[in-house]
Structure 1
Amino acid sequence: MKIRIVFYSTYGHVYKMAQAVAEGVREVDGAEALLRRVPETLPQAVLEKMGAIEAQKAFAQIPVCTVEELPSADAVIFGTPTRFGNMCGQMRQFLDATGQLWSQGSLVGKVGSVFTSSATQHGGQESTILSFHTTLLHQGMVIVGLPYAFQGQMRMDEITGGSPYGASTIAGGAGERMPSENELAGARFQGRHVAAIAAKLKS
């Protein structure tokens, strides 16, 4: 059973979450976690000005995803940073290239799930995931979130990401905060949960 984790990360926050999602996937017998990144659309010069080049070296070895490989997955878990309460442009461009998959019904019945990051606690994490779900529904995917069975999203003793819609992390205005252990635990739970549901649908 193949679970693809398709992400975009600027400074490594979403990549850290993607790694945790993959760890959760691998806890399910027979589940294979395949990490993929969507194509970059920003010029190298712009990335340099943003100070993102060094951070992106950490995941440069991850293969770039193609839309053609999505149908071979039993589930796809997408990871994107928040851009004004929505997915980032790189992820949007990637999804906009899946028109042929839509016309052929190639993703109908496959599990789809989303995790995210934002700069601030109320920076659009929930709206990003919910608006992302619209595309997955148009593709006929079965949406899976992060249930309250993951009790870490109920915590009141620390600032933390995570909602019933999916795992998330708060990066800070300058990207200074990496995912907390609680946020990573939510990502692991989501990966495990998605893989378990995909296994049930496949059997």
Structure 2
Amino acid sequence: MSVPISVVIAHHSGYGHTARQAAAVAAGVDSVPGARADLRDVATLDTELWEALESAEAIIFGSPTYLGSTSAVFQQFAEASGRVWAEQGWQGKLAAGFTNSAGLNGNKDNALLSMAVLAAQHGMNWVSLGLLPGWLYTSTGSTEDLNRLGGFVGAMAQSASDLSAEQAPGDSDLRTARHLGQRVARTALQFVHGRAAASLAVTA
């Protein structure tokens, strides 16, 4: 395939921590030959954003978890996608999600599940994190394990409230985000090749 498929990372970051997580997701996408990451800040709802989302093979949603939910800025983007929903413009695309909060738990699952519901209403196919839980899953676990926060729906990160975006999230959480980007990119490539094969079978 000569033209790389596009994987858009549609995210909002309030203080820079989730933006750092988004960059790690993008690095994971870009590490897969045949895929290209496109970082988009959903705080700007312009034509370029909607066009990028329309042409993407997969969309990875990202938001900080504030008070147990996605940020108001991300929710504004979700609601603005209603016109796309009406035309089912994202039907069949892949979707995934990531989130960050100051608390170790912080009800991050609730934010991820709201992204999954958004994707489902758009007729998208959700890609999970695909990792066993790390750290406290076994007595020999380490805070350096992948998926140390034990998420399944998407990639989770934690950034202590008194640390800057240059200091947090930590390496484990960033590597987990990178894994998510790789997983989505590889799955998207499988989808593209599968559709091509199916098309050839129909015309044969």
TM surpasses 0.5: yes
Summarize the alignment of residues 1-203 of structure 1 with structure 2, pairs less than 5 Å apart: 1-39=5-43, 66-148=49-131, 154=137, 156-158=141-143, 160-176=148-164, 178-203=168-193
Unaligned segments of structure 1, at least 5 residues: 42-62
Residues of 2 paired with 1:27 and 1:13: CA distance?
22
User: Against the structure 1 CA distance between its residues 185 and 153, is the aligned structure 2 distance closer, same or farther, given a 3 Å change threshold?
Assistant: farther
Q: Which runs of 5+ in 2 are unaligned?
A: 194-204
**TM-score between both structures, scaled by the size of structure 1:** 0.81
TM-score, normalization by structure 2: 0.81
Deviations 1:137-183 (A, max 9, x none): 00011001211268679573228435111112111233455011111
Alpha-carbon distance change, 183 to 96 in structure 1, aligned in 2, over 3 angstroms: same
Q: Is the 8 A contact 2:135 2:149 kept in 1?
A: no
Dislocated runs of 4+, deviation >4 Å: 149-155
Amino acid at match of 1:99: G
Aligned CA RMSD, in angstroms, stands at 2.4
User: How many angstroms does 1:126 deviate by?
Assistant: 1.2
What is the alpha-carbon distance in structure 1 between the residues aligned to residue 136 and residue 10 of structure 2? Answer: 23
SS in 1 for 2:173: helix
Percent identical pairs in the alignment equals 32
Q: 1:38 offset after TM fit, Å?
A: 1.2
Q: Which has the larger radius of gyration?
A: 2
- Tell me if structure 1 keeps the 8 A contact 2:133–2:149: no
Aligned residues: 182
Distance 1:91 1:198 in 2: 24
